A = this chain, B = another copy of it.
Amino acid sequence: MTEPRYTPLVQALPATVPFVGPETQERDRGTPFTARLGANENVFGPSPRAVEAMCAEAAEIWKYGDAQSHDLRAALAAHHGVRPENIMVGEGIDGLLGYLVRLLVGEGDAVVTSEGAYPTFNYHVAGFGGVLHKVPYVEDREDPASLFAKAAEVDAKLVYLCNPDNPMGTWRPGAEIVAAMQDLPERSLLILDEAYVECAPEGTAAPIDADDPRVIRMRTFSKIYGMAGARVGYAIAAPGLIDAFNKVRNHFGMNRAAQAGALAALRDADWLAHVRTEIATARDRIAAIAADHGLCALPSATNFVAIDCGRDGAFAKAVVEELGARGIFVRMPFAAPQNRCIRVSCGRPADLDAFAAALPAALTAAAAR
């Protein structure tokens, strides 16, 4: 044998990765970034109680994690006023999206998302042979009406909608999503990715019954809870769908310390409020920095801000690269016309000072290319 006998699907898959991580970029450039503002990580960090819980559990790490994440599920259920049967805990939203796509999508099955939305979702759909259909953003926002109309047109098994949106930071009131769902096709399951919803104004979380069979909501400890490296996400959905994950998931896939950390983080409402304030301050600061250089920041309901660089995608890409060369890690939307923007995660004052210091030279260098 020279090569293993991969499935035909795998043979056809590209070897692309959804994202190039900051550590990879740092190794390529030979020096660390000064400010890590590209992955929408929460630089304000996890609750000290979560850190304490993870440390305490580190000595117990010889035990496998609880395969049912029982205590965390129970706490999440209480937090959301639903039953534990409505909750599936998994290895980040990325992991849960992979399982969900696997449950529904076979080769040739139609899936709908927005042009420029979450690449890792697209990666999973492609990875299971699904056919992606994309609709454009409308005024820099994901548009439920377009998504659901396309879903009807192509008989989509899954429709992906992120609210608040990544990478633009824009949002719709939850009630608007619910109202739009009257046009969600009967045969399509809506994935409502609310990864950033705790950063958003009151009323952004969609008021959906957890038993509603038309939708599965995704939440995470990676964003406002500051635990991206822990890999804890969860889904809220009808019990039948939640239970279906048990057919395919890695039952012992959860890190034990991460389970304990997430539970402690969930209980620390004060820290959440603190982070929310820090994020709001940082959003304002990023907008001010943009304005200082004649650029316009989009309103954001997330822990990042999209800055309209006023020209095309090539220019924004040059700005991202020039910022990177100056030690500032940021990213940008993938699709036109949103790719006229760069996307800057909320940072501490020192991070944003560094961003502010690097931006003018980066803009000048990008313009001179």
Q: Does A229 contact B4, Cβ atoms closer than 8 Å? A: no
Cβ of A188 to closest chain B Cβ, rounded Å: 7
Cβ contact within 8 Å between B243 and A257: no
Cβ–Cβ contact A253 & B95, under 8 A: yes
CB of A46 within 8 A of CB of B70, answer: no
**Interface residue tally of chain A, by bracket?**
35 or more
Is A217 close to B, CB under 8 A? no
Q: Which of B14, B127, B241, B256 contacts A4 (CB 8 A)?
A: B241
Task: Please report which residues of chain A, range 213-263, place their CB below 8 angstroms from some CB of chain B when the two chains form the complex.
Answer: 213-214, 222, 226-231, 240-241, 243-244, 246-248, 250-258, 261
C-alpha spacing A20/B251, complex, angstroms: 9
Q: Are A44 and B62 in contact (CB under 8 A)?
A: yes
Which residues of chain B are within 8 angstroms of A103 by Cβ–Cβ distance? 4, 6-7, 10
Please give the residue numbers on chain A whose beta carbons come within 8 Å of chain B beta carbons, in ascending order.
1-10, 13-15, 17-24, 27, 36, 39, 41-46, 50-51, 54-55, 57-68, 70, 91-92, 94-95, 98, 102-106, 109, 120, 127, 157, 186-189, 213-214, 222, 226-231, 240-241, 243-244, 246-248, 250-258, 261
For the complex of A and B, 4 pairs with smallest distance between CB atoms: A229-B256, A21-B67, A23-B66, A54-B58
Could you say which of A120, A229, A258, A261 has the most chain B C-beta atoms within 10 Å of its C-beta? A229
Nearest Cβ distance between residue A284 and chain B, in whole angstroms? Answer: 21
Q: With A1-B188, A157-B5 given, is the CB distance from A13 to B248 under 8 Å?
A: yes
CA distance A39 to B63 in the complex (A): 9
Q: Nearest-CB distance from A53 to chain B (Å)?
A: 9
Residues in chain B near residue A54, CB distance under 8 A: 54-55, 58, 61, 257
